[in-house]
Amino acid sequence: DAGVIQSPRHEVTEMGQEVTLRCKPISGHDYLFWYRQTMMRGLELLIYFNNNVPIDDSGMPEDRFSAKMPNASFSTLKIQPSEPRDSAVYFCASTTLAVPLHFGNGTRLTVT
Amino acid sequence: DQQVKQNSPSLSVQEGRISILNCDYTNSMFDYFLWYKKYPAEGPTFLISISSIKDKNEDGRFTVFLNKSAKHLSLHIVPSQPGDSAVYFCAAKDSGTYKYIFGTGTRLKVLA
């Protein structure tokens, strides 16, 4: 199994630009999570999906953040417009019943 | 508010000695606890878990202890090895959901 695949690995953009992060979960996993890692807050849950439906988006910091899961094998996290304080490492993870979360290798986002 | 807290940002231990990483939580509805290990430029990987109905779980050199009355869990690594040097995150799952809340992490350095 290829594991959870995230792209791009690194993204550098200017303030005000739109950023789209992508995730392909492990085949057969019906839960998908987006986390953000910062020094101050550690791994912060942004949103999670079950069977492509958003279940809890209470961690999404602002309306500038949106996430979609159009099918079982693909999800996006979009930031529009981006700001320097959005700079962080964003992780996608997937799981199914009785299986711990499997994480991708993350996208390091830098907003200048 | 941080529901899962790791109050020690870093820890240094001599090779061969015991490493003890601590984690406190505030939500009594958490029913499953996990520890993840993270190397630089990689996603977190699952290490060990414990259900809220148990107070100890062992897997090789790794043991997790859960004290529900104190809302505290700890990870013991014996003996510590240089390859254990990483950031360790504790996580908790909200009962009845698949919401996994992570702490801020503890950076462990095992000195040869």
DSSP secondary structure, chain A, as one string:
----EEE-SEEEE-TT--EEEEEEPPTT--EEEEEEEETTTEEEEEEEEETTEEEE-TT--STTEEEEEEETTEEEEEESS--GGG-EEEEEEEE-TT---EE---EEEEE-
Residue B42 contacts A where some CB pair is shorter than 8 Å: yes
A103 and B103 within 8 Å at the Cβ level: the answer is no
- DSSP letter at B99 equals -
**How far away is chain A from the Cα of B99, in angstroms, using its nearest Cα?**
8
| A8 upstream amide cis, omega within 30 of 0 | yes
Contact A91 B44 (CB under 8 A): yes
> Average pLDDT in the A17-27 region?
97
State whether the Cα torsion A21-A27-A33-A37 is positive or negative.
negative
3-state secondary structure of B109: strand
Chain B contact present for A31, CB below 8 A: yes
Can you give the C-alpha Rg of chain B in angstroms?
Answer: 13
Calpha distance A68→A53 (Å, rounded):
9
- What average pLDDT does the segment A41-67 reach? 94
Question: Which whole-number Å values give the CA distances from B23 to A47, A60, B60, B66, B107, in the listed order?
Answer: 23, 25, 21, 10, 13
Best of A101, A102, A107 to disrupt the B interface by mutation (most B CBs within 10 Å)?
A: A101
pLDDT surpassing 90 at residue A2: no
pLDDT digits (tens, 9 = 90+) for B23-61: 999 999 999 999 999 999 999 999 999 999 999 999 999
Q: What is the pLDDT of residues A62-110, one digit of tens each?
A: 899 999 999 999 999 999 999 999 999 999 999 998 789 999 999 999 9
CB contacts, 8 Å: A44 with chain B: 102
Residue A69 CB: number of other CB atoms within 10 A?
21
Contact A42 B97 (CB under 8 A): no
Within an 8 Å CB–CB cutoff, is residue B40 touching chain A? no
pLDDT surpassing 90 at residue A39? no
DSSP string, B23-88: EEE--TTEEEEEEEEE-TTS--EEEEEEETT-SEEEETTEEEEEETTTTEEEEEESS--GGG-EEE
A49: contact with B, CB 8 A cutoff: no
Would you state the structure tokens that stand for residue B34, as one six-digit string? 């996990």
User: Does B10 contact A at CB distance below 8 Å?
Assistant: no
> What six digits make up the tokens of B12?
């240094």
Mean pLDDT, residues A7-25: 97
In this predicted structure, what is the pLDDT of residue A1?
Answer: 63
Q: Do A41 and B46 touch (CB under 8 A)?
A: no
Distance from CA of B91 to the nearest CA of A (A): 9
Distance CA A29, CA A14 (A): 34
